[in-house]
């Protein structure tokens, strides 16, 4: 325990030096000795010591002279004066000059060890204090360096960054924020948010975050219009530790990005898709009508092979028309077109009609299609859009189910919402592919479904229709065991 403390005993009496060395070494201390002050100073220059026991009356250099030099060169080392009863007054004077304590000869072992231990504790505490101080200085330097780096990064960012505190004051922002939000005036530090930002929707979002409605790992994304620019603001809670060492919301962090160019490109893409789709549909419809006339034999009878080829051509034309219609539907939904006809709708009837319509197709593939519906409250929806949801989901389930498979469509009440599930025992979807199923043009890649045709737009349309009805859709799947789509729609009572 005491091996970390080095003690030097300085006394001209050999018996005192050896006695102290034997006693202190037995307690675990490292001990060196010197017979006068001059040799003690030479030893201290070679080996750092933690405590010095210094006799007052010595030849060559007295204890008083040695104390003065030690105090000047090594002010942190506690010096304990060894004195006889006749020189106690001198020892007291030495303490006034910086000595830590004194011990009178002859020594009382208990008192002697108490004094030594107390000096050792003092030395350890001082060393700890210096260590903490050095660590603190190093931490402050590192913190200052990281703060400088962070400031440089934030100031060089092309995206705007804004941090607010609990008082809805801006405590950090970068030049890009002022440029994007068209802020020309100098702001206070901290600056009240409402004096700098005049977008009510963004202010409302930040107030919602600070109220605790958003979890720490969630964020809110919204679009803002500033002049002729379209911005995307992503806001999240800033978390801090309270007095009870629990994380709580201490403000907000918002990153603002200029998406004007992307919106223009998206608009150009939509216009292009609409143009191409409309220009393609008209001639395709005409070609289909002509081929249908040929197929029905209205322009003369066809031989078996001729009729087969014309029939195949009709199927390809129908597939192209389906693709064009899906593209137009996606474009309309992305532009936020309102639903055509919103009326109170009985979901049970739509499910039954869809299952009756799809039953023959399911039998052709050897798949069993069943449905179960409770008595359900009506939903406010466009009938055509709801039919499209079920047609897509049930059709996909049939296409991706092997012979002998089973498809179950269920609908039941879930509080003030309807829970609709379409469950199949098909090929399933790998976990890494699940996040992509609602992407446009996504198709499941599986050896058993190579003959399945489609545009890859069905599920994208389904998701957009469900969201336009203020609902949600989720998917769970196990490869080679099946897939379940779950839809939650608000009932009329919830709206």
Residue 279 predicted with pLDDT over 80? no
| The two structure tokens encoding residue 198 | 């005049």
pLDDT tens-digit map of 318-362: 777 777 776 666 666 666 554 556 778 888 888 888 888 888 888
Q: Length of the chain in residues, anyone? A: 495
Residues paired with 487 in a beta bridge: 420, 473
| Distance (Å, whole) CA 164 – CA 141 | 26
Q: Does domain 343-494 have CATH number 3.30.565.10?
A: yes
Task: Give domain limits for the chain.
Answer: 6-131, 158-258, 272-334, 343-494
C-alpha distance across the termini of the chain, in Å: 75
**Helical packing angle, 458-468 and 383-399, nearest 10°:** 140
Q: Does domain 158-258 have CATH number 3.40.630.30?
A: no
Q: Do domains 6-131 and 343-494 have the same CATH topology?
A: no
pLDDT tens-digit map of 300-322: 787 878 888 888 888 888 777 77
| Distance (Å, whole) CA 169 – CA 152 | 22
Per DSSP, the residues of 384-423 read HHHHHHHHHHHHHHHHTS-TT-EEEEEEEEETTEEEEEEE
Output the CA angle 135-138-139, nearest 5 degrees.
Answer: 85
| Distance (Å, whole) CA 494 – CA 416 | 6
Q: What percent of the chain shows pLDDT beyond 70?
A: 88
3-state secondary structure of 407: strand
Q: Taking residues 401-421, what's their average pLDDT?
A: 87
Output the CA angle 151-153-155, nearest 5 degrees.
Answer: 65
pLDDT tens-digit map of 122-181: 888 988 888 888 888 888 888 778 878 877 888 888 888 888 888 888 888 888 888 888
- Give which of 281, 283, 282, 313 is closest to 295, Cα–Cα: 313
| Distance (Å, whole) CA 253 – CA 164 | 7
Q: Taking residues 224-246, what's their average pLDDT?
A: 80
Q: What is the pLDDT of residue 144?
A: 78
pLDDT-derived band at 8 (thresholds 50, 70, 90) equals very high
Helix (H) / strand (E) containing 359: helix 347-364
The CATH code belonging to domain 6-131 is 3.40.50.2300
| The two structure tokens encoding residue 64 | 């008083």
pLDDT tens-digit map of 46-58: 988 999 998 888 8
Give 426's Cβ-side CA count (13 Å radius). 34
Q: Read off the pTM.
A: 0.47
């Amino acid at each position: 325990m005491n091996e970390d403390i080095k003690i030097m005993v300085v006394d001209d009496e050999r018996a005192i030096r050896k006695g102290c060395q034997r006693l202190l070494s037995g307690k675990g201390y490292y001990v060196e000795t010197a017979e006068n002050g001059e040799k003690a100073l030479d030893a201290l220059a070679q080996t750092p010591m933690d405590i010095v026991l210094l006799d007052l009356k010595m030849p060559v250099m007295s204890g008083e002279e040695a104390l003065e030099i030690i105090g000047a060169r090594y002010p942190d080392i506690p010096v304990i004066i060894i004195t006889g009863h006749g020189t106690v007054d001198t020892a007291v004077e030495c303490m006034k000059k910086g000595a830590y304590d004194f011990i009178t000869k002859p020594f009382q072992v208990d008192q002697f060890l108490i004094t030594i231990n107390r000096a050792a504790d003092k030395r350890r505490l001082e060393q700890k204090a210096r260590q903490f101080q050095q660590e603190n200085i190093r931490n402050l330097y590192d913190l200052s360096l990281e703060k400088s780096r962070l400031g440089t990064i934030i100031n060089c960012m092309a995206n705007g960054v804004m941090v607010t505190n609990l008082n809805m004051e801006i405590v950090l922002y970068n030049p890009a924020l002022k440029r994007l939000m068209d802020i020309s005036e100098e702001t206070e530090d901290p600056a009240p948010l409402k004096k700098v930002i005049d977008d009510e929707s963004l202010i409302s979002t930040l107030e919602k975050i600070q109220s605790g409605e958003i979890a720490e790992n969630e964020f809110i994304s919204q679009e803002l219009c500033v002049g002729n620019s379209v911005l995307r603001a992503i806001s999240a809670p800033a978390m801090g530790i309270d007095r009870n060492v629990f994380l709580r919301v201490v403000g907000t962090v918002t990153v603002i990005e200029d998406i004007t160019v992307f919106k223009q490109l998206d608009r150009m893409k939509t216009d292009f898709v609409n143009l191409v789709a409309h220009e393609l549909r008209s001639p395709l419809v005409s070609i289909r009508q002509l081929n249908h006339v040929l197929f029905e034999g209205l322009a003369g009878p066809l031989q078996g092979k001729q009729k087969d080829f014309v029939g195949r051509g009709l199927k390809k034309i129908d597939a192209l028309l389906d693709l064009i219609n899906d593209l137009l539907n996606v474009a309309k939904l992305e532009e936020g077109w309102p639903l055509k006809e919103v009326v109170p709708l009985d979901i049970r009837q739509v499910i039954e009609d869809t299952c009756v319509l799809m039953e023959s197709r399911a039998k052709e593939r050897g798949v069993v299609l069943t449905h179960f519906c409770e008595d359900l409250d009506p939903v406010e929806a466009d009938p055509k859009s709801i039919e499209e949801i079920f047609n897509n989901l049930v059709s996909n389930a049939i296409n991706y189910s092997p012979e002998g498979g089973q498809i179950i469509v269920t609908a039941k009440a879930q509080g003030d919402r309807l829970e609709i599930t379409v469950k199949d025992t098909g090929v399933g979807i790998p976990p890494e592919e699940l996040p992509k199923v609602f992407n446009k043009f996504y198709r499941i890649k599986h050896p058993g479904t190579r003959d399945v045709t489609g545009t890859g737009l069905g599920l994208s349309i389904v998701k957009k229709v469900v969201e336009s009805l203020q609902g949600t859709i989720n998917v769970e799947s196990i490869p080679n065991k099946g897939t379940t789509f779950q839809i939650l729609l608000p009932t009329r009572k919830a709206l």
